[in-house]
Structure 1
Amino acid sequence: MKASFVSSSAMQSTLRLTISQSQTKLLQASTEAATGVYSDIGVSLGSGAAKSVNLTNAISLTDALTASNSIVGLRMDASQTALSSLKDAGDTLVSNLTALQAGQDSTSVAVALQAANDTLSQLISTANTSVNGEFVFAGTNIDETPLTDQSATVTAAISSALSDYATSLGKPVNELSGDEITSFITGTIEPMFSESAWTDPANGWSSASSNSMTSRISENETISSSTSANSEGMRYLALASVVISSLFGQDLGADAKSAVASKAISYASQATSGIVTQQSQLGLSQERLEKANDALDARSTLYQGNLVDLQGVDVYEASTLVNQLQTQLETAYTLVSKLQQLSLVNYL
């Protein structure tokens, strides 16, 4: 009979290798049990890793578009709220001016003047609304304050022009007829609120761009996501307010004042109509944004499902493997400890 000998050193080396391999497998299995996906996508999927990368990139793109769309939606919501308040201000101005046409007593005149001044103040404040540091009515000039109140300068120019106009007709201002004051408003004041005068770099009211913001809401779709303070609605609301505030401070006769109120009502009505048009245009963009978001959500869900099917592991199986490897490691540690305690001294 021949005896075989195995050294304790060889046994310890084998156990150390087993422990090292088990620790590596335990780390991988623990990661997979915790995350539900392969710990090493490249090794586990092989050539399928490219598909995994493509799906991950597609998910990242949809997430980025969804986040961007959220900001776009917030900007358009703020714009709609602001436009609604301006429409209400225009309607209130029309109501007060209509009452002024019925009677030009001092109270009605005072109310109309206050309404005009309040409307202009609200226009300036609302047009300068900002969201996340961007001015929503600045067009593409999102970092520039859209409107500056130029009413004092314009009123002074109107007063001087009115005096010259009356002189050219050979009569004092208080003798101007309704038709004559209407001609003055149409020929002199209205051009002061044309888009070119409104945006004049030297003396204009607006620093906004007339070009709207364009936002990409999906891979292949863009929308106009803002509106501008240079719109006809806002310009005509300012025009209606200034016509009242500048001319009702002049020494006009009853017929001329009635004509001024009538013309201001016309401008204010054009303003509210223009503002409603702006709201409608934004509403169409909001509808397209909502549909794009629904499509992005559906696409993201599909991509996520495909990625889980590709990368996913059986969490229960991974957890079972973790327990097995932990037991195996504990056994190996125990054996190593026993081997280290072996000594010939114990047997001599």
Structure 2
Amino acid sequence: MKASFVSSSAMQNVLRLTISQSQNKLQQASTEATTGTYADSGVSLGAGAAKSINLTSAIAQAASFKMSNAVVELRMNASQTALSSLKDAGDSLVSNLTALQASQDTTSIAVALQTASATISQLVSTANTSVNGEFLFGGTNLDSQPLSDQSSAVSDTIVSALNDYATGLGKDVSELTGEEIGSFITDTVEPMFSESAWTDASEGWSAASSTNMTSRISGSETITSSTNANSEGMRYLALASVVVSALFGQDLSSDAQSTVASKAIAYAAQATSGIVTQQSELGLAQERLEKANDALDAQSTLLQGNLVDLQGVDTYEASTLVNQLQTQLETAYTLVSKLQSLSLVNYL
């Protein structure tokens, strides 16, 4: 019978190799038990790894759209709030001017002048609203303040033109009829608030762009996501206010004052109508944004499900494997310890 020799050193080396392999497997199993996905998708999926990359990229793109859409939504919500305040200002101006038509006493005129001044201040302040350092009503010109208050200069121009107009008719300003003052407002004052005059680089009110912002809200859809200070609503609100502040300070006849009030009311009503139109356009864009976000959420959920199906592992099975490997490692450590303690000296 032939005797076989067993080396304790060789046994230790085998156990060390087993320990090293078990440690690697334990790390992989622990990762899979924790994350619920393969520790190394490339190795586990093979050719399917390309599909995994595509799914991950699509999910990241949907998340990116949701983040940018949140900024767009914030801007549009702030714009709606600002436009609502301008509409309220226009309604208040109409209310005060309507009262003035009924009674052209000193108090009513003073209230109308005060309301007109406050409306201009609110218009300029609101039009210059910014969010995250970008002006809401600048159109594509986000970095420059859209409006500057030119009411004083324009009022002076109107008063000067009114005196020339009356002189041309061979009258004093106080002798102008309602029809004559109406023609003056229509032919001389109103053109001062045309879009070209409003945006004139040297004397205009606005530095805004008339082109609105567009935003891509999904892979296939863009919306107009802003409005601008060159809109008819804002221009006519300024026109109504300046007509009041410039002309009610003059020595006009009762008939002329009534016409001024009527024209200002009409301009203010046109302004509020224009502002409501701006709100409606933004509202439609907000509705499309909401639907796009819903679609992105649904798309993301579907893609996440596909990715889990592709990369997912049974966490219970992975946890069981972790426990088994830990037991194996503990056993291997014990055996190595015992082998290291073996010595021929103990048998001499």
TM bin (shorter chain): over 0.9
SS across alignment from 1:30: helix
Cα deviation for residue 214 of structure 1 reads: 0.4
What is the correspondence of 1:174-193 to structure 2 with a 5 Å cutoff? 174-193=174-193
Which residue of structure 2 lines up, in the alignment, with residue 148 of structure 1? 148
TM superposition outliers: structure 1 runs of 4+ over 6 Å = none
AA in 2 matched with 1:312:
G
Which residue of structure 2 lines up, in the alignment, with residue 347 of structure 1? 347
What is the correspondence of 1:164-243 to structure 2 with a 5 Å cutoff? 164-243=164-243
Percentage of identical aligned residues: 78
Which residue of structure 2 lines up, in the alignment, with residue 51 of structure 1? 51
AA in 2 matched with 1:35:
T
What is the correspondence of 1:70-89 to structure 2 with a 5 Å cutoff? 70-89=70-89
SS across alignment from 1:163: helix
AA in 1 matched with 2:347:
Y
Cα deviation for residue 183 of structure 1 reads: 1.3
What is the correspondence of 1:124-163 to structure 2 with a 5 Å cutoff? 124-163=124-163
AA in 2 matched with 1:343:
S
**In 2, Cα distance between equivalents of 1:237 and 1:131:** 23
Cα deviation for residue 174 of structure 1 reads: 1.2
AA in 2 matched with 1:204:
G
**In 1, Cα distance between equivalents of 2:328 and 2:142:** 64
Cα deviation for residue 335 of structure 1 reads: 1.1
Cα deviation for residue 178 of structure 1 reads: 1.0
Which residue of structure 2 lines up, in the alignment, with residue 91 of structure 1? 91
SS across alignment from 2:12: helix
- Which 5+ residue runs of structure 2 have no aligned equivalent? none
Cα deviation for residue 250 of structure 1 reads: 1.3
Deviations 1:242-277 (A, max 9, x none): 000011111211111111111100100100111111
Which residue of structure 1 lines up, in the alignment, with residue 256 of structure 2? 256
**In 1, Cα distance between equivalents of 2:158 and 2:86:** 25
SS across alignment from 1:309: helix
SS across alignment from 1:119: helix
AA in 2 matched with 1:253:
S
**In 1, Cα distance between equivalents of 2:130 and 2:25:** 55
AA in 2 matched with 1:152:
S
AA in 2 matched with 1:160:
S
Which residue of structure 1 lines up, in the alignment, with residue 311 of structure 2? 311
After TM superposition, the score normalised by the length of structure 2 is 0.98
Which residue of structure 2 lines up, in the alignment, with residue 101 of structure 1? 101
Which residue of structure 1 lines up, in the alignment, with residue 23 of structure 2? 23
SS across alignment from 1:324: helix
Cα deviation for residue 165 of structure 1 reads: 1.4
Cα deviation for residue 12 of structure 1 reads: 1.1
1:68 aligns to 2:68 (yes or no)? yes
Cα deviation for residue 293 of structure 1 reads: 1.0
Deviations 1:277-316 (A, max 9, x none): 1111111111111111111111111001010011000000
Cα deviation for residue 159 of structure 1 reads: 1.5
Q: How many pairs does the alignment contain?
A: 348
SS across alignment from 1:139: coil
**In 2, Cα distance between equivalents of 1:111 and 1:40:** 76
**In 1, Cα distance between equivalents of 2:336 and 2:174:** 114
Which moved further from structure 2: 181-190 or 314-323? 181-190
AA in 1 matched with 2:191:
P
**In 2, Cα distance between equivalents of 1:89 and 1:3:** 108
Which residue of structure 1 lines up, in the alignment, with residue 276 of structure 2? 276
SS across alignment from 2:215: strand
Deviations 1:52-96 (A, max 9, x none): 011001101111111111111111111111111111111111111
SS across alignment from 1:3: coil
Deviations 1:91-140 (A, max 9, x none): 11111101101111011001111111111111111111112221111111
**In 2, Cα distance between equivalents of 1:12 and 1:138:** 77
- Which 5+ residue runs of structure 1 have no aligned equivalent? none
After TM superposition, the score normalised by the length of structure 1 is 0.98
SS across alignment from 2:201: coil
AA in 1 matched with 2:264:
A
Which moved further from structure 2: 27-36 or 7-16? 7-16
AA in 1 matched with 2:165:
Y
Which residue of structure 2 lines up, in the alignment, with residue 247 of structure 1? 247
**In 1, Cα distance between equivalents of 2:214 and 2:72:** 10
SS across alignment from 1:222: strand
**In 1, Cα distance between equivalents of 2:272 and 2:290:** 26
**In 2, Cα distance between equivalents of 1:113 and 1:218:** 49
